[in-house]
Amino acid sequence: MRTETPDVIEKETNLSLNIDHANIIMVSNLVKKFGELVAVDDISFEVKRGETFAFLGPNGAGKSTTIKMLTTLLHPTSGKIILNGHDPVHDKDGVRKSLGIVFQDPSLDEDLTVLENMQFHAVCYNVRKDIRAKRIEELLKFVELWDRREDMVKTFSGGMKRRLEIARGLLHHPTILFLDEPTLGLDPQTRNHMWSYVKEINKKENMTVFFTTHYMEEADRVADRIAIIDHGKIIATGTSNELKSRTNSETLEDAFLNLTGHKIREEEASSLDRLRRMGQLWRGRRR
Ligand code: ADP
Ligand code: MG
C-alpha cells in the first residue's frame, strides 16, 4: 500500500516525466551570457543513452561553457537541461552522481602522489572500499602509470597528467563521462590509447560519452554523432556521414567549411597560444 503524501507522489510523477529512456541528455533553448557576451546562444540537442557524442568547434565556440552547465558548475542564463532524469540547476547531487568529468584545465593535486590522487577521488565518490584498490590498480595499469604510482604528480609531463585525470574520471564508473578537449596536447599514440579505452568502457558498460574537441579527425573517428558549434550556436547535428552528405562533402573538414563558412584550423593557433598562456598562469600560481 502506498503511504506517501500527495506532495511526494506529485514529486515522483514530475521526476518520472523527466526520464526519457532513449535520451540521457536533453537540452532545450540553453543560453549562457557573460555580461554582454552570449557564449551559448539558444542551443537544443539530445544525446542518446550509450552514445558517443561530440561537440566540434573552434576555440571560443562555447564548448566548455556548455559542459560546465551540463555538469552543474555554471548556472544557465535560460533554457532547460535534463541529465539522466535530473535537472542540474535544482538537483545538483542527482546529476553529480551520474557523471564523471575530465576537464580542459588540470585539476589534480600536484603535491599528492598518483595513488593518493586516486584514493582521494575514490573516497569523494563513495567507491566501495572492497573494490577500490583493485579498480585503482586496473585503471593505473591501463593508462600505464602503475609503475609511477608512488610519484608526486608535479614531476609529471602534461600527457601523464592527462592520463591520470582520465583514469580518475573513470574510477566510479559514471553513467555519463564528460571529456572537455581530453586529448589537447597529447601525442597521437597516447590519444589513440585513451580513445580505445574510453570506447571499450563505453561498449562494455553502455557508458554515454560526451566530449568536446576542435580536432576534426577525432570527432570523425570517435563520435557516433557530432554537433558542430560555432559562435555559441549549433550549426548542424548528425553522424559524420550525414553531415558530409548534407553538404555534398567528401570530408568532415569540407562539411565544416560548408556549414560554418570557415576552417577550424585558422583558430587552432590561437588555441595553442591560449594553452601556453594558461600553462604560464598555472605555473605562476603554484609558486
Ligand atoms: P570553447 O570551450 O569552445 O573554447 P568557451 O565556452 O570556453 O569556448 O568560451 C566561449 C566564450 O565565452 C568565449 O568568448 C570566452 O571568452 C567566453 N567566456 C568563457 N568563460 C567566461 C567567463 N567566465 N567570463 C566571461 N567570458 C567567458
Ligand atoms: Mg574549451
pLDDT of residue 87: 95
Domains contained in the chain, number:
1
Can you read off the three cell numbers belonging to residue 161?
A: 597528467
In a domain? residue 133: yes
- Ligand (nearest to CA of 270): 1
CB atoms closer than 10 angstroms to residue 119:
17
pTM of this prediction exceeds 0.85: no
What is the pLDDT, as a whole number, of residue 267?
52
Whether 64 is in the pocket of ligand 1, judged by its Cβ within 6 Å, is yes
Q: For residue 207, what is the enclosing H or E element?
A: none
The pLDDT of residue 31 is 98
Q: Is residue 201 assigned to a domain?
A: yes
Output the domain CATH number for residue 143. 3.40.50.300
Q: How far apart are CA 17 and CA 20, in angstroms?
A: 8
What are the backbone dihedrals phi and psi of residue 23, each rounded to the nearest 5 degrees, phi first? -105, 115
Look up residue 255 and give its three cell numbers: 562539411
Residue 6 lies in a domain: no
Whether residue 57 has its Cβ less than 6 Å from ligand 1: yes
Query: For position 229, what pLDDT does the model report?
Result: 97
Q: Which of 155, 162, 152, 220 is nearest to 189 (CA)?
A: 162
Half-sphere exposure in the Cβ direction for 33 (13 Å, CA): 8
Residue 247: DSSP 8-state: T
Boundaries of domain holding 200: 19-286
For residue 143, the SS3 value is: coil
Owner of C-alpha cell 604510482:
149
The answer to whether 69 and 88 have CB atoms below 8 angstroms apart is yes
CB of 59 closer than 6 A to ligand 1?
yes
User: Residue 123 domain-assigned?
Assistant: yes
Divide the 287 residues of the chain into consecutive groups of 10 and give the mean pLDDT of each group.
42 49 94 97 97 96 96 96 94 86 77 94 87 93 93 90 87 90 82 86 91 93 97 97 96 94 68 58 51
Element (H, E) at 52: strand 52-56
CB 282 near ligand 1, within 6 Å = no
What per-residue confidence (pLDDT) applies to 3?
43
pLDDT for the residue numbered 205: 85
CA distance 54 to 180: 10
Phi, psi of 181 (to 5 degrees): 45, 60
Nearest alpha carbon to residue 162 among 200, 119, 197, 126: 197
The residue among 61, 59, 55, 57 whose CA lies nearest residue 27 is: 55
* pLDDT score, position 16: 44
Testing ligand 1's pocket by substitution, the residue of 30, 31, 32, 34 carrying the most ligand atoms inside 8 A of its CB is: 34
Q: Is residue 7, in this structure, part of any structural domain at all?
A: no
pLDDT value of position 275? 62
- Mutation to probe ligand 1, out of 63, 65, 211 (largest number of atoms < 8 A from CB): 65
Does 9 map to a domain?
A: no
Domain assignment present for 4: no
Instruction: Tell me, yes or no, whether 13 lies in a domain.
Output: no
For 31, counting Cβ atoms within 10 Å of its Cβ (0-12 exposed, 13-18 middle, 19+ buried), the class is: middle
- Alpha-helical (H) ranges within the chain are 6-18, 63-70, 92-98, 114-124, 129-142, 158-169, 188-205, 216-222, 240-246, 252-260, 268-286
Instruction: Using the structure block, give the residue that is written with the C-alpha cell 585503482.
Output: 136
